[in-house]
A and B are shown apart, each in its own frame.
Chain A
């Protein structure tokens, strides 16, 4: 028996030693790998966080990561740029986070006109005035397109129809977003013309609505149009000053008599109050990036121009866009039933119905009260459940507000949870610490998680 326990403890020692050795070596390797580039006093002397207010994989994210890579490959910065995707609510979650960040030059936001449209449409109270613009980059023209078999051959014909029968032609939009405003700005060019706007979301859904004949017209980025057009889409106007070299067959809106000149571009922002020297520094870095052949060739595949504007000219561009967007009314007629009200009422009714049916099922049989022992167990069960939720809340609060490292907090929290699972008495605690792998796990696991997320997925943990 003693033999058995000796061999058991030897095994444990071996496993433990192996685990620790592996982690130690990994940490040393990691430290050697990253330790080389600190010792720098000027700006920037630590990684810069770039907030992309959309999920990974979208247009903005792709653009941001292209710039991030170009900066790294050409060593335009001594420090890394870390892309942080904060998606949701028409980019307002991400922009809100950037707005509240320290204006120290270490948090940057990339966001197109949605920053302006979100404010104008009343989604959020803040807009460009809450930020310091750094640069405007990467211009993409818009294309007004109809289905291949649509009766409208020119923009003129379409707009005339919208004027003769206002609020009949349906325009597929993403309500409150830049595409919606593109339509509104276009219809302002011919007084009396009005489209009906319908919620269609992203480019692919708008495309499908157009070619399925469910809407009459929509706007697409040139890149989207080129990839969709073989599915049965026909462009009737492009929003550029002159015809685009890659799409010479599309007439401009301007040559058809409509002053609809419009391009989507990515704006770069710092939180309000960031020093001018840092703004200039970063503007210069982005300018250098946009001039590289890598960026040129990648933008060309998407039919975007390597446009870059900084300083006063950029502010003029911005002011022009804000003015145009503010000049139109994006409110749409209220045709929907009051869904929140109906759902709330229905939920409340069904809750009452459920309570009643529960009572009805329980009442007539008249079961005697459950034995007391059960009550005690049930009480202890709920107590532990409550304790667990409490401990977890404390852990989350600490993660959110205390300047303590994720790894340390998580170690403490994991130990708490393990103790809750194992038993709260002193004897049990002693056994847990001395006689199991829990201490090893509690220390090693947060390190591994931190390492995997930080370096492989490049997600900054709180």
Chain B
């Protein structure tokens, strides 16, 4: 149809140049902890005033694709998620790299990012128009129940000790309490500190937990055995057809989850990767490998976070509703260039709509090429001696946390959570449940609050609405199932086996201290 003509717009050399530039900058910024894609795009936006609207959108969407993907390099090799979207990738990517398979870990991540992007692109072009009718049907209680499902998944990502996982998740929720109540806007529990009125910002907390705690650990380690990330040069980034086939089911499933999460407003790429990761774990034949370098974990996380891009673009182009922070900025860009998203945009400016859609496809291909070619080069970061690397990383953390809101308070928060993360790691408390609780609790609270305000305090709708009821039932099953499983398991395993597991754990504890 006419689509082909619009396809040609993107084939324009100028546009291709913007795709290349945008994707590359996105990857670099995504790879640097503290600099996010949202920041890059927001700060590039004023520079696009002089450009054609289509060119501006090409540049910005390419940055979006690059920045969500770039985070996986540092997440895998340095355990520093360059963006919140790649937090979950650290859980398995880093152990893989440490065990001498950095190239393979990167290759899997890049491959699944590419596939995730492609699959969600398919959804984007198919669903952009019809989807608008479905998403508005979901009410507050439906949303709340949906988030509830994700929250109870904490239990399934808690690793060896369920008690430690639950504590970690609840602690993450507790940290969201100070600041503005998401449900009422009332300020609470700030202990009189005015700077805390907005609560703890996501980025400083995550940079602290994942990057700073790691830096503390690395700096302090000089006495004991040096835990180098990996001295092995990353080989085999380009995977064979066998690997593509082996991970196909997981990639498709994670991409679909990611796309779906992306469509829902307010939930970003990080939640998509969390949900896909949990799903992959519960369906895996080797769930115990998750968190220790599972290939499936890397694939699930990276396929899903890239898939959220296509998902989030659906409501943006279809209705002008942003699915994430970055999409909100893209929406601002469209309006600045005099374009109103919505049904009218499809009628009056199909060139813009299809340029956005095809940019995502081409930027994905560009991302794949660039990452495969440059990952080796970027991964050499991992072989730099620590006395070069760590000062640079910690300064990036400081500057990145500061630049977020232009205030020192965020930098202090970052340092404090660096210490918290360090202490938690030493006590074998997993970090992933903390992050899930921290990210999801405010959404759950806001939706529950809005629902209760509208129903004047009645919870009845939670079981009256079919969608809400379905999700509530799923979460009940998710709570009961692991308990049931662990009960039957402990009955079948002899005391001997139990003792062995304990001994192994203790041995590991000794190793670490």
Interface positions of A from 176 to 215, Cβ below 8 Å from B: 176-177, 196-201, 204-205, 207-208, 211-212, 214-215
A85 partner residues in chain B, CB cutoff 8 A: 405-406
Interface positions of A from 342 to 378, Cβ below 8 Å from B: 343-344, 346-347, 350-351, 353-354, 356-358, 361-362, 365, 367, 370, 374, 377-378
Q: Mark B47-62, 1 if CB is under 8 A from A, else 0.
A: 0010000000000000
Q: Compute how far the CA of A437 lies from the CA of B132 in the bound complex, rounded to whole angstroms.
A: 57
Contact of B265 among A204, A350, A419, A441 (CB under 8 A): A204
Do B329 and A357 touch (CB < 8 A)?
no
Do B329 and A384 touch (CB < 8 A)?
no
Do A400 and B408 touch (CB < 8 A)?
yes
B238 within 8 A of A: no
Number of chain A residues close to chain B: CB under 8 A: 117
Do B338 and A207 touch (CB < 8 A)?
no
Q: Compute how far the CA of A380 lies from the CA of B220 in the bound complex, rounded to whole angstroms.
A: 8
B187 within 8 A of A: yes
A346 partner residues in chain B, CB cutoff 8 A: 170
Minimum CB distance partner of A341 in chain B? B177
Do B184 and A361 touch (CB < 8 A)?
no
Contact of B132 among A88, A223, A231, A339 (CB under 8 A): A231
Contact of B391 among A177, A196, A417 (CB under 8 A): A417
Q: Compute how far the CA of A309 lies from the CA of B163 in the bound complex, rounded to whole angstroms.
A: 61
B45 partner residues in chain A, CB cutoff 8 A: 56-57
| A378-B513 in contact given A57-B45, A208-B321, A212-B139 (Cβ < 8 Å) | yes
A198 partner residues in chain B, CB cutoff 8 A: 140, 450, 453-454
Q: Compute how far the CA of A117 lies from the CA of B507 in the bound complex, rounded to whole angstroms.
A: 59
A134 CB, nearest partner CB in chain B, Å: 21
| A421-B222 in contact given A335-B452, A347-B174, A457-B403 (Cβ < 8 Å) | yes
Do B136 and A332 touch (CB < 8 A)?
no
Q: Compute how far the CA of A78 lies from the CA of B449 in the bound complex, rounded to whole angstroms.
A: 50
Give the tally of cross-chain contacts (CB within 8 A). 302
Do A393 and B415 touch (CB < 8 A)?
yes
Sorted nearest first, the 8 A-B pairs with minimum C-beta distance are A88-B198, A56-B42, A89-B198, A212-B136, A335-B457, A89-B197, A385-B220, A414-B391
Interface residues of A (CB under 8 A from B): 55-58, 62, 65, 69, 84-90, 92-93, 96-97, 121-124, 167, 170, 174-177, 196-201, 204-205, 207-208, 211-212, 214-215, 223, 226-228, 230-231, 301-302, 332-333, 335-336, 339-340, 343-344, 346-347, 350-351, 353-354, 356-358, 361-362, 365, 367, 370, 374, 377-378, 380-385, 388-389, 392-393, 395-396, 399-400, 410, 413-415, 417-423, 432, 436-438, 441-442, 445-446, 449, 453, 456-462
B14 partner residues in chain A, CB cutoff 8 A: none
Q: Mark B210-221, 1 if CB is under 8 A from A, else 0.
A: 000001111111
Minimum CB distance partner of B187 in chain A? A123
Minimum CB distance partner of A68 in chain B? B46
B448 partner residues in chain A, CB cutoff 8 A: 336
A39 CB, nearest partner CB in chain B, Å: 28
B295 within 8 A of A: no
Contact of A93 among B136, B185, B198, B222 (CB under 8 A): B198
B199 within 8 A of A: yes
Q: Compute how far the CA of A374 lies from the CA of B182 in the bound complex, rounded to whole angstroms.
A: 47
A389 partner residues in chain B, CB cutoff 8 A: 216, 415, 418-419
| A354-B164 in contact given A89-B180, A215-B454, A365-B502 (Cβ < 8 Å) | yes
Do B394 and A417 touch (CB < 8 A)?
yes
B156 CB, nearest partner CB in chain A, Å: 16
| A204-B406 in contact given A176-B186, A335-B457, A365-B506 (Cβ < 8 Å) | no
| A382-B220 in contact given A199-B453, A457-B43, A461-B399 (Cβ < 8 Å) | yes
B383 CB, nearest partner CB in chain A, Å: 15
Contact of A441 among B42, B187, B198, B391 (CB under 8 A): B391
User: Can you offer 13 A-B residue contacts whose CB atoms are under 8 A?
Assistant: A96-B194, A123-B197, A170-B454, A176-B185, A214-B140, A332-B453, A335-B456, A339-B177, A340-B177, A357-B161, A358-B161, A361-B502, A384-B219
Do B222 and A231 touch (CB < 8 A)?
no
By secondary structure, the A interface counts as: helix
Q: Mark B177-192, 1 if CB is under 8 A from A, else 0.
A: 1011111111111000
| A57-B182 in contact given A93-B197, A357-B161 (Cβ < 8 Å) | no
B284 within 8 A of A: no
Q: Which of B15-23, B247-255, B341-349, B470-478 contacts A (4 or more CB under 8 A)?
A: B341-349
Contact of A410 among B138, B171, B395 (CB under 8 A): B395
Contact of B394 among A347, A392, A400 (CB under 8 A): A392
| A442-B42 in contact given A196-B454, A389-B415 (Cβ < 8 Å) | no
Do A230 and B343 touch (CB < 8 A)?
yes
B6 partner residues in chain A, CB cutoff 8 A: none
A363 CB, nearest partner CB in chain B, Å: 11
Interface residues of B (CB under 8 A from A): 39, 42-43, 45-46, 49, 132, 135-140, 161, 163-164, 166-167, 170-171, 173-174, 177, 179-189, 194-195, 197-199, 201, 215-224, 265-266, 319-322, 325, 328-329, 331-332, 335-336, 338, 340-344, 386-388, 390-392, 394-396, 398-399, 402-403, 405-408, 411-412, 415, 418-419, 422, 429, 441, 445-446, 448-450, 452-454, 456-457, 499, 502-503, 505-506, 510, 513
B199 partner residues in chain A, CB cutoff 8 A: 88-89
B317 CB, nearest partner CB in chain A, Å: 13
B329 partner residues in chain A, CB cutoff 8 A: 56-57
Do A208 and B265 touch (CB < 8 A)?
yes
Do B224 and A381 touch (CB < 8 A)?
yes
Q: Compute how far the CA of A214 lies from the CA of B513 in the bound complex, rounded to whole angstroms.
A: 55
B193 CB, nearest partner CB in chain A, Å: 11
B182 partner residues in chain A, CB cutoff 8 A: 199
Minimum CB distance partner of A207 in chain B? B321
Q: Compute how far the CA of A177 lies from the CA of B173 in the bound complex, rounded to whole angstroms.
A: 25
Do B187 and A230 touch (CB < 8 A)?
no
B457 partner residues in chain A, CB cutoff 8 A: 333, 335
A212 partner residues in chain B, CB cutoff 8 A: 136-139
B341 partner residues in chain A, CB cutoff 8 A: 227
| A370-B510 in contact given A62-B336, A205-B265, A231-B343 (Cβ < 8 Å) | yes
A340 partner residues in chain B, CB cutoff 8 A: 177, 188-189
Q: Compute how far the CA of A89 lies from the CA of B415 in the bound complex, rounded to whole angstroms.
A: 21
A414 partner residues in chain B, CB cutoff 8 A: 391-392, 395
Do A350 and B166 touch (CB < 8 A)?
yes
Do A301 and B338 touch (CB < 8 A)?
yes
